[in-house]
Structure 1
Amino acid sequence: MKLRAKIAVACAAVLASSLAACAPGSSQSDPGPSAPASVDFNSFKGQTLTYVYFTDGPDEQATKDAIAKFESATGAKVNLQIVPFANLATSLQARLSAGNAPEVARVSDWHPYADKEVDFKQYFGGSYPSEFTPGAAATAMDSAGRMLAVPSDVTINGPMVNVDAFKKAGVEVPAKWTWDELVAAAKKVAAANNMPYAVAIDKSGNRLSTVLSQFGTVMVGPDGKNALDKDKAAKALTFFTDLVKSNASPKDFWLGSGSKYTGANEIFLAGQVPVYLSGPWQVGAFAKSATFNWAAVPNPCQERCGGFPGGKFMIAFKDSKNPALAAAFVQWMNRTENQREVDRTAYWLPTRKDLTDSGIEYANRQSDMSAFLSQIKATPSDTWTAANSPAFTASATSLINETDKVVAGKEDVQTAVENISAAIDKAIKAAGS
């Protein structure tokens, strides 16, 4: 069946209500022509741009296919440079410091590069943001109303389960469950299938923020201030670190990678854990690689339900060798027909207004994409502003580092929470929030 836009529109509505206040300049007017006269797409023949990119899986081939169409249409050449997500920020900062900015990059947080980024309004007009849902556009705008990024997709965190393992254990997956119920079910399934672990979660500040939110708190509030409820954060971290210290969630995995993002997808695919908290970017890869039946299921609730949002952006650097070509490439990749085709095969959720209206018909695994989309309405509105705060990345790094210390027995939870709160204050101050 076709995945209709109703749930995706809910995403836009949640984003719009929670983010509009911090992103002036969003327009509801008609988006205007797809290729404004101020940018001549016929003038790029023989020119080259560098696109620094990280991949979530099937999006790599979808992106390469789209790039090939861009090259054919314009005569330009795209040098695609794929960098592991864990190394992306370090790589980009090193290139910028060396005066070797790429034309374009795919990022999960554009704020660290704001002073180096092209304002897309300058190339495509003040109404360009209105081509995207109000909420998606808001995540790409700074306080001055500049559009410093183009939102290429949105995500929502949620769990996937090994259906075969649950069936073998005779355990039902409920339509709604608490964290205690999820862990109890996962431990029973793991025991019945001789799995070493019960629950796996990516080592990610965004994913761990899912747990914080479900226990009732976020790190940065809609007003840009420190919103961490220390008591609720302590309950969330106690719950999570107890899981890891007991090896119900893999301890070696958690301690083995420092503060860098590490996905637990290989643990899930190896049949070592029945429940895995990640997101829809895994759907395409699992559809090809999983040797067992699996499914996306609702998030566990605690004080509240839902997941935690994220998104990816394309940015163009004004100090690159060819910023005009960079802006043109980003705009072209996010035209209706091109975003639709990439989303369909990459299992991305659209950001364009017209695509949320029409819906996306995915290549397969429609029910799993629907399961992730269904979590959007259940996800609290303050998570959207928290995830898109310029202070989030530094705060999330502290969240990971302090959790590491608790798991390693180097500090207690209360000390970790105090240190995280102090780091949030520092991040907010550094971001100018």
Structure 2
Amino acid sequence: MSRAKTVWTMRRRKPGLEAGHVHGRRRGAPARLLAGAALLAAGLGAGAPAGAETLTFSVMASGTYDKAAAGLAPAFEARTGAKTVIAAFPWAILRQNNITDVVTGTNQYQVMSGGFYLVDIYPHFVPLGDRIKQDKLADGMIPGLMDPGRSEYFNGQQIGFPYGTDVYGVMVNDDLLKRAGVEASFKTWSDFLAACPTIESKLPGVACFSHPTGSPEQISAIFLGAYAGTFINAAGRYELDTAKAAAAGKLLAELWKHLPKQGSAMSFDEANAAFRDGKAAMLVTWPSFANKFLDEDASPIKGHWHQVSFPGPGFPYLSQWQLFLVDSAPDKDLAWAWIKTFAGPENARQNYERFGIGSPWKALYEDPELKAAHAHDWPARLADLPRAQNPVLSGEALDFLNNTLQDIANGRVSPEDGVAAINAAWANFPVPPTLMETARSVGAVAAR
């Protein structure tokens, strides 16, 4: 096999895209999916030279995962002789492209990056259990991360291999909260909300918190933390507990009153900057999108902030990026070799330090030097990890939830009417059997 040049195609990332979804089958796909088929070629480079084997990896264009993949590709090519194509797309396009690639039988990607929202194409992913066992990879993984509800399973077999592990977090400005006389310990989101008037009265011109509100899918992270109800009724259909969901919606609407000025449409970068520059006393976001920025030498709050445990009574949102080996891959050993190269423990420290990619590997967090440098953020993150999980929702159900929560938070609809609209729409969304298995295991199904 001849060696060829790496092709790294990166699309501009929409500000703040990190999590969300779509569906279909290989045959008879809906027109809305087939309409996206033309996007598939957009991120792919020129064809491989005659006789060269090609490994194409679809990944989110975020300036993190895609850059890490591009940095590892040349050495992988040199070792395997395979042309390595990094097809990078903003999250919404990535999700569509992954599904459309399978639905249409285009089969351009041998390894896909994604998560639970790819549930409708799970039958086309190769079970990885034997390969994981053969390479003893479970031995070095943080306990629980390859369990159902965190890693992806189909028919009882693990099909997803974790590589980018992050848990939604709350960061606090130590100096500002001390001046406000607020203890940075919030058991519930009601406790968090109760602190906001005190912070803003004691610190004129400072907002209680900032959040990437301009990305509609991010609002569910706070809702999931504030909501302690089920997501599927006893009949096996999607349905929120009306009273508990309305209470969480009311809390969102109150929280939104304590954002910075023009704070209801902030990008990730804008939310991070507001916190770094002292315009917000707290920040609610994905740590992997903020911590490196906050700890730069030029950051005025370097050494003056820390992460606290995510409030309840619900659960912290888990971002557990997975790698999937597609069943149409002509060389599955090559595809698995890429999965181990990109997601394996050997590159965990480099991926974390250079790109901020949260690692699923125990060794990273046990490194004495790194552990000391991250005494302000790692303890809370690692403490939250065991209770973090993905929502047991299909892409359609999660999208409708996020859009309606935006209407509730911004006062366009009452919490009660919004929850009623969610449940009415959800009644038409089937619960995929694979998600039902997970939902039962995490207590997300209402008792009969």
Q: Is 2:251 aligned against 1:239?
A: yes
Q: Which residue of 1 aligns with 2:282?
A: 275
1:369 aligns with 378
Deviation at 1:430, TM superposition (A): 4.5
Equivalent-residue separation in structure 1 for 2:359 and 2:200 (angstroms): 36
Unmatched runs of 5 consecutive residues or more in structure 1:
1-44
Could you state the TM-score of these two structures normalised by the residue count of structure 2? Answer: 0.68
Question: Cα distance 1:300–1:429, how it changes in 2: closer, same or farther (>3 A)?
Answer: closer
TM-score normalised per structure 1? 0.70
- Give the fraction of aligned pairs with identical amino acids, expressed as a percent: 17
Aligned to 2:189: 179
Contact 2:207 2:279 in 1 (8 A): yes
Equivalent residue in structure 2 for 1:71, among 66, 77, 84: 77
Aligned to 2:173: 162
With a CA cutoff of 8 Å and minimum separation of 6, indicate the structure with the bigger relative contact order: 1
Encode CA deviations 1:156-211: one digit per residue, 9 max, x unaligned.
222112334435x4434434454344335444445665546422333465653444
| SS of equivalent to 1:367 | coil
- Name the SS for the 1:411 alignment partner: coil
* Deviation of the 1:240 alpha carbon: 0.5
RMSD: 4.0
Alpha-carbon distance change, 201 to 70 in structure 1, aligned in 2, over 3 angstroms: same
Q: Which residue of the partner structure matches residue 211 of structure 2?
A: 201
2:132–2:138 Cα contact (<8 Å) kept: no
- 1:331 aligns to what SS in structure 2? helix
- Residue identity in the other structure for 1:217: G
| Residue 421 of structure 1: aligned partner | 423
Work out the CA distance in 2 between the residues paired with 1:197 and 1:175. 18
Residues in 1 aligned to 2:350 and 2:269: alpha-carbon distance in whole angstroms: 28
Contact 1:406 1:413 in 2 (8 A): yes
2:327 equivalent among 309, 318, 331: 318
Residue equivalent to 1:229:
241
Decide whether aligned partners of structure 1 residues 111 and 262 sit closer, same or farther in structure 2, where only a CA change above 3 A counts.
Answer: farther
* 3-state secondary structure, aligned to 1:329: helix
Distance 1:145 1:263 in 2: 42
Give the Cα–Cα distance (whole angstroms) in 1 for the partners of residues 234 and 160 of structure 2: 20
8 Å CA contact 1:129–1:147 kept in 2: the answer is no
Number of equivalenced pairs = 374
Contact 1:186 1:274 in 2 (8 A): no
1:265 aligns with 2:242: no
Shift of 1:320: 4.9
In the other structure, the counterpart of 2:119 is: 111
- 2:405 equivalent in structure 1: 403
Measured at CA, do residues 61 and 141 of structure 1 come closer, stay the same or move farther in structure 2, by a change above 3 Å? Answer: closer
Q: Partner of 1:28 in structure 2? A: none
Cα distance change, pair 275–221 in 1 and its aligned pair in 2 (3 A): farther
Q: In the TM superposition, what are the counterparts of 1:128-167 in structure 2 within 5 Å?
A: 130-131=138-139, 132=141, 135-138=144-147, 139-167=150-178
The alpha-carbon distance between structure 1 residues 357 and 191, as it changes in their structure 2 partners (threshold 3 A), is: closer
After superposition, what is the alpha-carbon deviation per residue over 1:270-322, rounded to whole angstroms, capped at 9, x for unaligned? 543221111321322332374434523324645x3763323111123233565
Q: Structure 1 residues 405, 376: CA separation in 2 closer, same or farther (over 3 Å shift)?
A: same
Whether the aligned pair in 1 keeps the contact of 2:59 and 2:65 (CA below 8 Å) is no
Indicate the SS of the match to 1:198. strand
Which blocks of at least 5 consecutive residues in structure 2 are unaligned? 1-50, 437-448
Q: 1:154 to 1:360 in 2, by over 3 A?
A: farther
Q: Deviation per CA, 1:50-108: give whole Å up to 9, x if none.
A: 22222555555544443344234333332223322243213333444551532223223
2:94 to 88, 98, 118: 88
Residue 370 of structure 1 deviates from its aligned partner by: 1.9
